[in-house]
């Protein structure tokens, strides 16, 4: 009988992937890109890429959604 435990190597890989995703989603470049998509609006970030409170909440929701999708079993993510 198996316990369904995750190996230490798998835990390290998941942690590294999550950290990399966080660096990308919360980087000033990401905030500047979203600001550009919104037509230069200061609602998400300043021109320097400094996030506003709304910007942080928005990016946290995106980060959470991506993590949720990545954690779903592969059989549910594949479309046939």
Residue 6 falls inside a structural domain: no
As a whole number of Å, the CA-based R_g of the chain is: 17
Residue 49 falls inside a structural domain: yes
Residue 9 falls inside a structural domain: no
pLDDT at position 38: 86
pLDDT tens-digit readout, 22-77: 999 999 999 999 999 988 888 989 888 899 999 999 999 999 999 998 888 776 55
Residue 8 falls inside a structural domain: no
- Tally the domains of the chain: 1
Residues 6 or more apart in contact with residue 29 via CB below 8 angstroms? 49
Residue 59 falls inside a structural domain: yes
Angle between helices 53-71 and 8-25 (to 10 degrees): 150
Residue 37 falls inside a structural domain: yes
Residue 4 falls inside a structural domain: no
pLDDT at position 79: 57
pLDDT at position 21: 95
Q: What range does the domain containing 47 cover? A: 14-77
Residue 60 falls inside a structural domain: yes
Query: Considering the entire predicted model, what is its pTM?
Result: 0.76
């Amino acid at each position: 009988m198996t316990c369904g435990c995750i190996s230490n190597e798998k835990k390290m890989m998941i942690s590294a992937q999550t950290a990399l995703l966080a660096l990308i989603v919360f980087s000033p470049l990401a905030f500047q890109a979203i600001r550009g998509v919104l037509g230069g609006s200061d609602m998400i970030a300043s021109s320097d890429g400094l996030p506003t409170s709304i910007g942080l909440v928005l990016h946290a929701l995106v980060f959470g959604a991506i993590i949720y999708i990545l954690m779903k079993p592969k059989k549910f993510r594949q479309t046939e």
